[in-house]
């Protein structure tokens, strides 16, 4: 008996590159089902959002494909929520399958949500298999937080233990199951044969499950943790994960074997005519929109969220900043899903680059809060690299997370003031806490309603032929910029020296420098006196005495004088 699964399909209906397309995926699955009629097909979430065709049609062609494949159940992925919760129930109905999610709870009722089931029992050849659905708690910040504000993602291990015990002990109406499998969108990874991640933790924490089907991390995984089989099938339909349930001559379960089939590596693929007809139908419908050539690029605009700031990320932020009319732009690396090849650029490619319908959100943000936001996206393995524009950020990669930034400067060289507000644009996903970015301290927040994708399309149409050069806004290294000397504004004419001396007063107070660009320290109490140094904004100094409009201070062991108008 075989259980085939695929995960993180992301609407990859079209055959291109390593993506085999819906028709070939269906052909291979149906071929495997024909070879072994005792085969069950399930999915591990993130099925719909991600391609131009699926996005424009809100997943309709994906549902038709799932129905043709005979998928019986799917885990709920974080990206299932990208268009709001209301789509999920209709996908289930149209696709003829059940969404399973035992750990997603309605905050108002405290009970599992009504658009998904906690479990499903299937009987094949007299063997009962129980599937327990589990979503990753990361969903709370890996989709638009507004879309999941009314639901809670419970601890997967605690919930799985509860339902696995019920299934194995025969406490549910379907009776005792022979095999309990967690059908999840929990992440997993394998390195040198060792499987790690959320799904591996589940294997270690829950005794009564026999296997885990995972997803979310876009990797091929086939191994064991704590004696339990664990699988994941890459992403975009490129691979199929497989759990083979062994039976003895009496039909009793002898074990579960994990494996992965790399379909995209096969030299020949079988295209399914039914699913090809589905694809062709919808392709014809959206082709006039997606095939429009809007411009060209003289080089590939590459992007990989795990590899650092990219040329595509910088250009995207440049466009966001220009469109919003602000000083600084910040976006998340995970919001850009692929690179733009050299040559012609189509509308369809822009949908692939930015499948999310995120909008431009403008605000004012203090320098200290801007620093906090950018810190979250530096060397963050969970979410990938932040992308910025309009500000140069110097960081130390060896410092601890949250304290890596050493300096920030605007493009004119001015240092970012931690107490000053700056105009900033980001996307609505990040603005509401997505990927753990914190914009709560922002003021004058305005969601423009303009999709970022549309802003990019407008820019390409206006420029026609892109020739983008990478600036390097994020810099691993020390800020060696030398600040220009700052002259204080022209002071009122000084009184005669004799008068100043007569006004001299002994002081015993501390003042702060209020000149934003710093205040010069001079060798005497005159604006023409030799400059011996400078004090930064906010520096506190003890006043020794006053000479008219000047304060005498001690500067590096010597007498120095500062203009009192720029102190408080």
pTM over 0.85: no
- pLDDT tens digits, 499-535: 444 444 445 588 898 888 888 888 888 777 788 888 9
Question: Same structural domain for residues 253 and 318?
Answer: no
Q: Is residue 337 included in any domain, yes or no?
A: yes
What confidence score (pLDDT) does residue 499 get?
46
What confidence score (pLDDT) does residue 361 get?
94
Question: Same structural domain for residues 509 and 413?
Answer: no
Angstrom distance (rounded) from CA 448 to CA 185: 33
Least trusted range by pLDDT, from 51-60, 399-408, 458-467, 542-551: 542-551
Question: Same structural domain for residues 134 and 46?
Answer: yes
What confidence score (pLDDT) does residue 327 get?
97
Q: Is residue 490 included in any domain, yes or no?
A: no
Angstrom distance (rounded) from CA 384 to CA 309: 9
- Residues with Cβ within 8 Å of residue 368, at least 6 apart in sequence: 418, 419
What confidence score (pLDDT) does residue 149 get?
93
Average pLDDT on 177-191 reads: 97
What confidence score (pLDDT) does residue 223 get?
97
Q: Is residue 355 included in any domain, yes or no?
A: yes
Q: In what order do the strands lie in the sheet with 474-476?
A: 405-410, 391-395, 474-476
DSSP result, 234-302: -STTS-EEEEEEEE-TTS-EEEEEEEEE-GGG-SS-PPPHHHHHHHHHHHHHHHHHHT-EEEEESS-B-
Band of pLDDT at residue 92, cut at 50, 70 and 90: very high
What confidence score (pLDDT) does residue 265 get?
96
Q: Is residue 43 included in any domain, yes or no?
A: yes
Residue 176, pLDDT > 90, answer yes
- pLDDT tens digits, 303-348: 999 999 999 999 999 999 999 999 999 999 999 999 999 999 999 9
* End-of-domain residue from the set 224, 252, 283: 283
Least trusted range by pLDDT, from 126-135, 236-245, 349-358, 373-382: 349-358
Q: Is residue 485 included in any domain, yes or no?
A: no
Question: Same structural domain for residues 208 and 161?
Answer: yes
What confidence score (pLDDT) does residue 489 get?
54
Backbone angles phi and psi of 153, in degrees to 5: -105, 105
Angstrom distance (rounded) from CA 113 to CA 105: 5
Query: The domain spanning residue 519 has which CATH number?
Result: 2.30.30.40
Question: Same structural domain for residues 279 and 301?
Answer: no
Query: The domain spanning residue 316 has which CATH number?
Result: 3.90.780.10
What confidence score (pLDDT) does residue 526 get?
76
- pLDDT tens digits, 206-254: 999 999 999 999 999 999 999 999 999 999 999 999 999 999 988 899 9
Question: Same structural domain for residues 437 and 511?
Answer: no
* End-of-domain residue from the set 283, 312, 340: 283
Band of pLDDT at residue 488, cut at 50, 70 and 90: low
Q: Is residue 291 included in any domain, yes or no?
A: no
What confidence score (pLDDT) does residue 237 get?
97
> Which structural domain range is residue 311 located in?
296-476
Residue 496, pLDDT > 50, answer no
Band of pLDDT at residue 484, cut at 50, 70 and 90: low
Average pLDDT on 194-200 reads: 97
DSSP 81: G
Average pLDDT on 95-99 reads: 98
What confidence score (pLDDT) does residue 172 get?
97
- How many other C-beta atoms can be found within 10 angstroms of the C-beta atom of residue 401? 10
- pLDDT tens digits, 391-437: 999 999 999 999 999 999 999 999 999 999 999 999 989 998 889 99
Angstrom distance (rounded) from CA 407 to CA 477: 10
Question: Same structural domain for residues 376 and 521?
Answer: no
Q: Is residue 491 included in any domain, yes or no?
A: no
Domain count along the chain: 3
Angstrom distance (rounded) from CA 390 to CA 409: 9
User: Percent of the chain, pLDDT > 70?
Assistant: 96
- pLDDT tens digits, 117-149: 999 999 999 999 999 999 999 999 888 888 999
Angstrom distance (rounded) from CA 430 to CA 424: 12
Angstrom distance (rounded) from CA 338 to CA 49: 14
Averaged pLDDT of the chain = 92
Question: Same structural domain for residues 125 and 246?
Answer: yes
Least trusted range by pLDDT, from 5-9, 405-409, 467-471, 560-564: 560-564
What confidence score (pLDDT) does residue 506 get?
46
Residue with token string 């035992």? 102
Question: Same structural domain for residues 221 and 369?
Answer: no
CB of 101 within 8 A of CB of 135?
yes
Query: The domain spanning residue 225 has which CATH number?
Result: 3.60.21.10
Band of pLDDT at residue 568, cut at 50, 70 and 90: confident
What confidence score (pLDDT) does residue 518 get?
86
- Reduce the DSSP state of residue 36 to 3 states and report it: coil
Question: Same structural domain for residues 211 and 337?
Answer: no
Angstrom distance (rounded) from CA 5 to CA 182: 12
Question: Same structural domain for residues 337 and 218?
Answer: no
Q: Is residue 314 included in any domain, yes or no?
A: yes
What confidence score (pLDDT) does residue 485 get?
61
Residue 86, pLDDT > 80, answer yes
Question: Same structural domain for residues 74 and 117?
Answer: yes
Measured in Å, how far apart are the chain's first and last C-alpha atoms? 81
Band of pLDDT at residue 561, cut at 50, 70 and 90: confident
What confidence score (pLDDT) does residue 392 get?
97
- How many other C-beta atoms can be found within 10 angstroms of the C-beta atom of residue 402? 11
Backbone angles phi and psi of 464, in degrees to 5: 75, -55
* End-of-domain residue from the set 283, 308, 334: 283
């Amino acid at each position: 008996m075989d259980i085939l699964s695929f995960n993180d399909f992301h609407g990859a209906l079209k055959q291109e590159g390593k993506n085999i397309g819906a028709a070939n995926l269906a052909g291979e699955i149906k071929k495997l089902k024909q070879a072994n009629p005792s085969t069950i097909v399930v999915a591990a979430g993130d099925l719909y959002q991600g391609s131009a065709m699926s996005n424009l049609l809100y997943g309709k062609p994906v549902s038709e494909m799932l129905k043709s494949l005979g998928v019986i159940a799917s885990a709920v992925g974080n990206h299932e929520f990208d268009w709001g919760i209301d789509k999920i129930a209709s996908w289930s109905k149209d696709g003829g399958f059940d969404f399973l999610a035992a750990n997603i709870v309605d905050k108002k009722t405290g009970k599992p949500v009504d658009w998904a089931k906690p479990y499903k029992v299937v009987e094949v050849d007299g063997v009962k298999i129980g599937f327990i659905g589990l979503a990753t708690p990361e969903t709370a910040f890996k989709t638009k937080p507004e879309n999941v504000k009314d639901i809670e993602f419970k601890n997967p291990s605690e919930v799985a233990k509860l339902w696995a015990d019920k299934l194995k002990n025969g406490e549910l109406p379907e009776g005792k199951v022979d095999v309990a499998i967690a059908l999840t969108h929990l992440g997993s990874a394998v390195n040198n044969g060792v499987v790690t991640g959320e799904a591996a933790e589940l294997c270690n924490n829950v005794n009564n499950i026999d296997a885990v089907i995972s997803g979310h991390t876009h990797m091929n995984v086939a191994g064991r943790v704590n004696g339990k089989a664990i699988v994941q099938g890459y992403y975009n339909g490129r691979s199929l994960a497989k759990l083979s349930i062994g039976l003895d001559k009496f039909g009793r379960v002898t074990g579960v074997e994990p494996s992965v089939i790399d379909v995209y590596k096969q030299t020949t693929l079988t295209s399914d005519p039914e699913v090809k007809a589905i694809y062709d139908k919808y392709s014809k419908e959206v082709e006039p929109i997606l095939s429009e050539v809007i411009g060209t690029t003289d080089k590939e605009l590459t992007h990989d969220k795990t590899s650092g700031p990219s040329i595509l990320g910088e250009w995207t932020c440049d466009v966001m900043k220009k469109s919003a009319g602000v000083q600084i732009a910040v976006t998340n690396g995970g919001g850009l899903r692929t690179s733009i090849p050299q040559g012609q650029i189509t509308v369809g490619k822009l949908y692939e680059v930015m499948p999310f319908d995120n909008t431009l959100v403008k605000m004012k943000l203090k320098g200290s809060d801007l620093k906090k936001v950018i810190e979250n996206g530096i060397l963050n393995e969970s979410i990938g690299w932040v992308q910025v524009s309009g500000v140069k950020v110097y960081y130390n990669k060896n410092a601890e997370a949250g304290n890596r930034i050493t300096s920030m400067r605007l493009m004119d060289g001015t240092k970012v003031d931690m107490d000053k507000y700056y105009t900033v644009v980001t996307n609505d996903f990040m603005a509401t806490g997505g990927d753990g970015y914190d914009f709560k301290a922002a003021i004058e927040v305005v969601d423009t309603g303009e999709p970022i994708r549309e802003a990019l399309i407008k820019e390409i149409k206006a420029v026609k032929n892109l020739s983008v050069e990478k600036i390097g806004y994020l810099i691993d290294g020390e800020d060696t910029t030398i600040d220009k000397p700052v002259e204080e504004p022209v002071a009122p004419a000084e009184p005669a020296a004799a008068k100043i001396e007569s006004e001299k007063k002994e002081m015993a107070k501390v003042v702060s420098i209020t000149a934003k660009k710093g205040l010069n320290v001079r060798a005497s109490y005159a604006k023409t006196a030799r400059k011996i140094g400078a004090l930064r904004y906010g520096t506190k100094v003890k006043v020794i005495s006053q000479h008219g409009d000047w304060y005498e201070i001690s500067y590096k062991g010597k007498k120095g004088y500062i203009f009192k108008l720029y102190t408080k």
